[in-house]
């Protein structure tokens, strides 16, 4: 079962890493559009719509990736002090009461929303010559399916944690710098840092 959990993690990770390249494309597009607008006085009417769709796709498709890395925002002032079993029980309750109904509704509503857009071959109304939006609206139910699939994995992780008393492993990706790990890697202790602070402080004092 752990292999299945990690396989879904890999799928969410691959999807997130793939759409993350939209950041590069969006950066170049914004830069190019600013240049042609102010330097050449020749802006493109479709630019804003395309930027909006690129950012929206990035935002929606990153949901499953963030969930797989346990990176969703939570008020963990008290949560971090709870035991893993209590954390898992709390998470499981919230997944069942809020997550599953909410994301299921997103998938269904997104499917209907995208279907209506495809039937009329909808184009953006923001500008006169707006680009098609039906491919973009298809991302809504697609992202919902990815999040729902990852949600089932997280629910099962909660059940395993309640049984075992510790959280199952998950695939790790880019993370914030862990100061303690960094100090251990470069073999620096708190005492070394304190000595360096004293040396720097004395140096400044001597200079005065």
Shared domain for 135 and 45, answered yes or no, is yes
DSSP 78: H
φ and ψ at 168, to 5 degrees?
-65, 160
Shared domain for 14 and 81, answered yes or no, is yes
Q: Which residues of the chain have pLDDT under 50?
A: 208
28-54, pLDDT tens digit by residue?
999 999 998 888 888 888 888 889 899
Shared domain for 105 and 193, answered yes or no, is no
Q: How many other C-beta atoms can be found within 10 angstroms of the C-beta atom of residue 170? A: 17
What residues make up the domain containing 199?
179-208
Cα(95)–Cα(153) distance, integer angstroms? 11
Helix axes 47-68, 134-164, angle to 10 degrees: 10
Shared domain for 66 and 117, answered yes or no, is yes
Cα(169)–Cα(164) distance, integer angstroms? 12
Q: How many other C-beta atoms can be found within 10 angstroms of the C-beta atom of residue 146? A: 25
Cα(155)–Cα(94) distance, integer angstroms? 10
Shared domain for 112 and 208, answered yes or no, is no
| Entry pTM | 0.74
Number of domains in the chain: 2
> Quick one: pLDDT at residue 176?
53
What is the sign, positive or negative, of the torsion defined by CA atoms of 68, 71, 75, 80?
positive
């Amino acid at each position: 079962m752990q292999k299945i959990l990690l396989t879904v993690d890999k799928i969410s990770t691959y999807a997130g890493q793939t759409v993350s390249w939209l950041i590069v494309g969006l950066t170049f597009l914004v830069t190019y559009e600013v240049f042609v607008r102010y330097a050449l006085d020749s802006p493109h009417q479709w630019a804003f719509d395309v930027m909006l769709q690129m950012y929206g796709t990035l935002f929606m498709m990153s949901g499953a990736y963030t969930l797989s890395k346990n990176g969703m925002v939570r008020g963990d002032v008290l949560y971090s002090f709870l035991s893993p079993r209590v954390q898992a029980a709390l998470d499981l309750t919230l997944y069942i009461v809020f997550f599953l109904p909410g994301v299921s509704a997103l998938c269904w509503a997104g499917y209907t929303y995208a279907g209506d857009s495809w039937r009329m071959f909808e184009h953006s109304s923001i500008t006169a010559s707006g680009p098609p939006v039906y491919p973009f609206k298809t991302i809504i139910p697609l992202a919902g399916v990815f999040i729902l699939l990852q949600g089932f994995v997280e629910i099962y992780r909660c059940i395993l944690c309640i049984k075992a008393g510790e959280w199952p492993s998950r695939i790790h990706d880019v993370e914030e710098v862990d100061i303690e790990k960094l100090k251990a890697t470069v073999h620096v202790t708190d005492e070394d840092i304190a000595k360096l602070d004293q040396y720097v402080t004395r140096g400044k004092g001597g200079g005065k």
